[in-house]
Chain A
């Protein structure tokens, strides 16, 4: 009897705790699971009974990597619920802040979590010895990302100055000129990043699926927008439950999702496939250099789509800073909500994909919350990829099979500690 058994306990170089378990007996795939074993966090029940003003700072703590994304989705849910109209300046500053987070997260993932696999080392530590220029470049780009967030909202991990209706602090002209210089200087590093990933070979594996991202016709969308599917449909944000259709499985503390197919993908590659037209021209040129033309259906290419987004975010951030400098940033009191009760959905496309926060507020107090996190939406798609991949590689030596599966899961950039904060939808057996 032939048996291939893969058991990766606490997969490394991902955010949060997950296991991969695969069992093949006599050529039959008997078990193929991505288990989420992170402790449950219970953010949704926790925020009930509190004033809405405290919520963006609390839910920021769902995730250290995408805290700007969670804060922004939370603010948009509250502002939608309470009818707050934002100023142009607030919208520009929030977009710039989100670009900072996108850059930080993508650089961390592409360079520190993925590149070691492609360059044949165990982590970024030996890489720092063998190819210090690669690691130093990554650290410089992360520093740029961190500085954008620090200037706009006080710090990257758990932003301070973003508040309901606007900001509690605004950057000075000098701050913006400083960012502009950092961004212009970063262009050389961005170009080197494109060259590096154009030279690396990613595993060839294709599986078509449904791709879902937030969408606007006139902007490569990270905040607000409609929910768009590669199958050609769109839905308003408030209809998110009819897209995510969450359900639970016993081997995971994270909920799963499916829409028009058995599973769907969210994140950089989904955005690339759905919103290619809206990418900055320089990012489109980088995509061509990286050999990417939508639709790209190889999940290992998620990382390369992140590289395309790194280009987009740097170029778009330069334009946002220029627009802010041209308009002149002035102190604005945060907009007071016109009413204190309502229900609202906030949607953001954060580094790992589309994120929903749905709040109900009564007389200024939170009474219900639902958050649907990108990694949860990707889990079923990841597992179906694993099921499709295993038969293709089952004849290889065991360490190679394990590495291919680890790399597949890592490609999704799973943020497992986020994904366990999911909630109350009906259960499908």
Chain B
């Protein structure tokens, strides 16, 4: 019996908590068959093996934001060796929480952490990897949803792009019968956030923080109005929009260069 060569898949990380890669490890509890479908050739967090330099990755998953000039070369070389480059999770997809510091003056942020040694530590405003290289698709979320990841890999192996919902989170709250956060007077970004996580945060009593990014054409003004009516303060609304979505909000305001 001959075995077909399995597609070579690799995982890389930039500035992140590596929680999405851990979610991939956790996924193997329920989907051990994935290891038969692909050959994982690099995964520094979990493996010592490395792919020879002249070989290509069929899929490269990249977790994390790009936060310093010197990381761009590594990211670009991964892009050159990969047939498909997929952003894994909110840091890579959106900039995510790493971009919270972008509105602060860069030097001041460095000095707050490293004092007079600030110049030892290179950094620049955090950005999604799509600001540096072409990204073929994203698996959103903080962390990624493990079932969505499994579906996305299946699609990619079949030569299709992952099929992300283009409707807002509210649909998922309705279908699982979660009481609307606005009825409880709490901030929630559900109306403008891409569904696909099963609205897990509202189900556990906490309003959506927008980690999966905006739906196409989000109506922010209308959402703000509904939240104000529910008794949420303007400060809280604007702050909530700047946890995972700081980079996008700065883009909307024309503040990113």
Contacts and interface: CB of A to CB of B under 8 A. Distances in A.
Contacts of B98: 41
Contacts of A40: 67, 110, 113-114, 121, 123
A253 B47 CA distance: 24
A341 interface: no
B17 A139 contact: no
A275 B99 CA distance: 40
B48 A248 contact: no
A10 B109 contact: no
A289 to B, nearest CB: 28
A39 interface: yes
A58 B100 contact: yes
Given A64-B19, A64-B143, A45 B108 contact: yes
B214 to A, nearest CB: 19
B101 A122 contact: no
Most buried by A among B19, B30, B67: B19
B166 interface: no
A417 B17 contact: yes
Interface string B154-179: 00000000000000000000000000
Interface stretch (A123-131, A319-327, A351-359, A375-383): A123-131
A174 B209 CA distance: 29
B21 to A, nearest CB: 7
A57 B243 contact: yes
Interface string B76-119: 00000000000000000000111011001000111011111100
Contacts of B123: 39-40, 42
Contacts of A124: 46-47
A108 B23 CA distance: 12
Interface in B121-171: 121, 123, 142-143
A158 B143 contact: yes
Interface in A404-429: 417, 421-424, 426-427
B40 A63 contact: no
Interface stretch (B51-59, B199-207, B221-229, B249-257): B199-207
Given A45-B112, A417-B16, A248 B117 contact: yes
Contacts of B26: 142-143, 146, 156-157
B138 to A, nearest CB: 18
Interface string B12-34: 00111111111101101110100
A232 interface: no
Contacts of A10: 44
A161 B206 contact: yes
B234 interface: no
Given A122-B47, A157-B23, A158-B142, A45 B104 contact: yes
B8 interface: no
Contacts of A154: 200-201, 203-204
Contacts of B113: 40, 42, 44-45, 421-424
Contact of B17 (A61, A143, A248): A61
Nearest to B96: A61
Interface string A88-118: 0000000000000000000010001100100
A46 interface: yes
A67 B16 CA distance: 13
B48 A122 contact: yes
B236 A112 contact: no
A139 B28 contact: yes
B206 A112 contact: no
Given A40-B113, A64-B19, A108-B25, A13 B243 contact: no
B112 A39 contact: no
Contacts of A250: 120
Contact of A67 (B14, B17, B206): B17
Interface in A135-166: 139-140, 142-143, 146, 153-158, 160-161, 163
Contacts of B96: 61
A57 B17 contact: no
A143 B206 CA distance: 24
A157 B19 contact: yes
Given A50-B239, A58-B100, A424-B115, A122 B23 contact: no
A123 B243 contact: no
A40 B26 CA distance: 26
Given A65-B22, A161-B205, A44 B112 contact: yes
A216 interface: no
Across the A-B interface, the 6 shortest Cβ-Cβ residue pairs: A64-B19, A168-B205, A154-B204, A123-B47, A45-B112, A160-B204
20 contacts: A12-B47, A15-B18, A42-B101, A42-B113, A44-B113, A46-B97, A47-B100, A58-B97, A58-B243, A61-B142, A63-B17, A63-B18, A64-B20, A67-B17, A125-B47, A160-B206, A161-B204, A169-B203, A248-B117, A424-B115
